[in-house]
Amino acid sequence: MICFTRKRLLDLVRSIGFGFQLSMACLLVASVGITSASNACADGKSPNVLVILADDQGWGDLSLHGNPNLSTPNIDSLARDGAQIDHFYVCAVCSPTRAEFLTGRYHTRMGVYSTSAGGERFNVDERTIGDVFRGAGYATAAYGKWHSGMQWPYHPNARGFDDFYGFCSGHWGNYFSPMLEHNGQIVEGKGFIVDDLTSHAIDFISAHSNSADSEPEQGSEPFFVYLPLNTPHSPMQVPDPFWDRFADKAMVPDPAPENAKGQDIQHTRAAMAMCENIDHNVGRLLRHLDEQKLADNTIVVYFSDNGPNGKRFNGGMRGRKGSTTEGGLRSPCLIRYPAQIPAGTHVKQVGAAIDLLPTLADLAEIGWEQQRPLDGISLADALRQMSTGPTDRLLFSAWGGKATVRSQQYRMQRDGSLYDLAADPGETTDIAGQRPEIAGKMKSALDAWIAETKPLSRDHKETRPFPLGHPQATWTQLPARDAKSTGAIVRSNRFPNCTFMTKWTNTRDQITWDVDVLAEGDFEVQMYYSCPAESVGSTIRLTCGESTLDAEISEPNDAPLIGMKEDRLQRAEGYVRRWKPMTLGQIHLEPGRTTLALRATDVPGEQVADMRLLMFRRLP
């Protein structure tokens, strides 16, 4: 029997002509015996997958999309050598997009309602893209900003990713050799964070090479690498070589007057420099795939998590990050896979983050059982140029009390306004009164979706505790951002993700966490802190249920706030310190929901300490 790979079949069918695709494909299957993923050719290779996600990079932040202020040749090359989905949509902010990419389902179904303090977590019974690919024999890794939960079973290691390096919060306070984690354990990064994350991805790719022309015994399992970068999200930090090209550069404004008049030039300069740094690192990845002879057999995906984090060039679209208009929801989406996707492909079908799981599983020919109905669809045939054209579908999104529905041509907002995006991409003219039939149908669909998925308000009060001591987790981190405080103790900044507790000065006040101890055990506890030498000597007590642990702060860590020198403009988020761990001792925990409390029992100086996080290590 002659054995054809899928690429050879597609090339043959395309050479014959699209009018005969169906009949020829059937004929080839019947007479030649084309194999499937579960019965692959002996020399066949499952494709590798590399997914790169930018943070706060808008659709217009690429030279590919006409932005005259920067150059992104490496990212642009993915469209030249592969495909771009012309109208691709994500969510208004970070964590909902991540939940939808990871599961193929709307975040409103899964308990996501916020970007911090537990509201970023999607339900533990959801199956992730990491689970799907690991279940198909892939080595899986995630490097960067996870932003979907910190403690097991929300941690990336519990959600299908064998290796994780980065941070789990929504933003980070320092981008140069920062405190990060590797599979739960606190480590220190090396150099600028985006460069560092990229280096980890390169190392993982090298360790799990699966090239199309390697012998089975020479290669290893295919890889699935998820690289969620954390720029150009603030704080606006970027290495000097990238900043120097923009420090005094004039910025061409967006053609929309509303965007142009609201632009912060210095912020835009920093964002452009950060985007060029991303492009530099995408170039590093693409060159490495070439050097390892992996390019032809690797699916590379590039997209962003929401609209731009400032008013700047965005193709004249209305809105930015946080809005449910085109400017807040439209993202670049570029997919290169030489084995199946013709160079220069434009997908006209509207697509979304919810489509990436089924699309990638289809391209990789993975058979998997869906535990819950997906909201996304596979765009694989459109990418292969095997579909007849776009079909109308409805894409929904909600954030901050706003909601919207997008069809192939129209967008409707929750207030009933309707826009023809083919004729009016800037959403300037409400045509609901002119097209009442379309408006009525879309309004009914949006109302039904809201009633079904029940989007939560950002004012929703978290009822889920923070897990502690999962039996499969060696490390459990409980940061200050997940805690509450009483009395004079305050959070260092109103944006909680990278904050610490400060003004801890007496024995009355305490720091508490609502926890659910998942399995009995003994744990070593460390506290990451700072304390000036003149305040050393405070004793502190940790209480969890009936168990207590007492310790004395015996060593100073007079660490100054850092980040100001590296910032390219003043930040809204708080600054951080170089935190030092101290071992509090060992504590025995019993299963069940309880309050974990930290307070001082003696304060000989002016303060106790600034507290960044507690780390629990399960003992054998």
Please write the tens of the pLDDT for every residue from 169-193. 999 999 999 999 999 999 999 999 9
> Of all residues in the chain, what percent carry a pLDDT higher than 90?
87
197 and 227 in contact (C-beta within 8 Å)? yes
* Mean pLDDT value across residues 483-504: 96
Across all residues in the chain, what is the average pLDDT?
91
Decide which of 370 and 493 is more confident: 493
| Average pLDDT of span 385-396 | 91
User: What does pTM read for this prediction?
Assistant: 0.92
Q: What is the pLDDT of residues 99-158, one digit of tens each?
A: 999 999 999 999 999 999 899 999 999 999 999 999 999 999 999 999 999 999 999 999
Quick one: CA torsion of 114, 115, 117, 120, rounded to 10 degrees?
Answer: 80
pLDDT of 371 over the 90 cut: no
How many residues are there in the chain?
A: 620
Taking residues 524-539, report their average pLDDT: 97
Does the pLDDT at position 543 exceed 60?
yes
pLDDT reading at 612 higher than 80: yes
Question: Residues with Cβ < 8 Å from 139, sequence gap 6 or more?
Answer: 162, 204, 207, 208, 220, 221, 222, 223, 224
Q: Alpha-carbon distance 433 to 418, whole Å?
A: 9
pLDDT more than 70, % of the chain: 91
CB count within 10 Å of CB 613 equals 22
Torsions phi, psi for 76 (to 5 deg): -60, -35
Q: Residue 176 and residue 189: Cα distance in Å, rounded?
A: 8
Residue 19 has pLDDT above 80, yes or no: no
Q: How far apart are CA 383 and CA 365, in angstroms?
A: 14
DSSP structure string for 548-595 = EEEEE--S-B-PPPB-TTTBSS--SSPPB---EEEEEEEEEE-SEEEE
DSSP 617: E
pLDDT tens per residue, range 33-50: 323 333 333 346 899 999
**Does residue 27 register a pLDDT over 50?**
no
In contact, 50 and 360? CB cutoff 8 Å: no
pLDDT of residue 41: 32
Give the pLDDT score at 368.
Answer: 83
pLDDT tens figures, 326-338: 999 999 999 999 9
Rounded Cα distance, 517 and 533, in Å: 35
pLDDT digits (tens, 9 = 90+) for 229-274: 999 999 999 999 999 999 999 999 999 998 999 999 999 999 999 9
**pLDDT tens digits, residue range 393-452?**
999 999 999 999 999 999 999 999 999 999 999 999 999 999 999 999 999 999 999 999
How high is the pLDDT of residue 80?
98
Q: Which residue has the tokens 């109905």?
A: 373
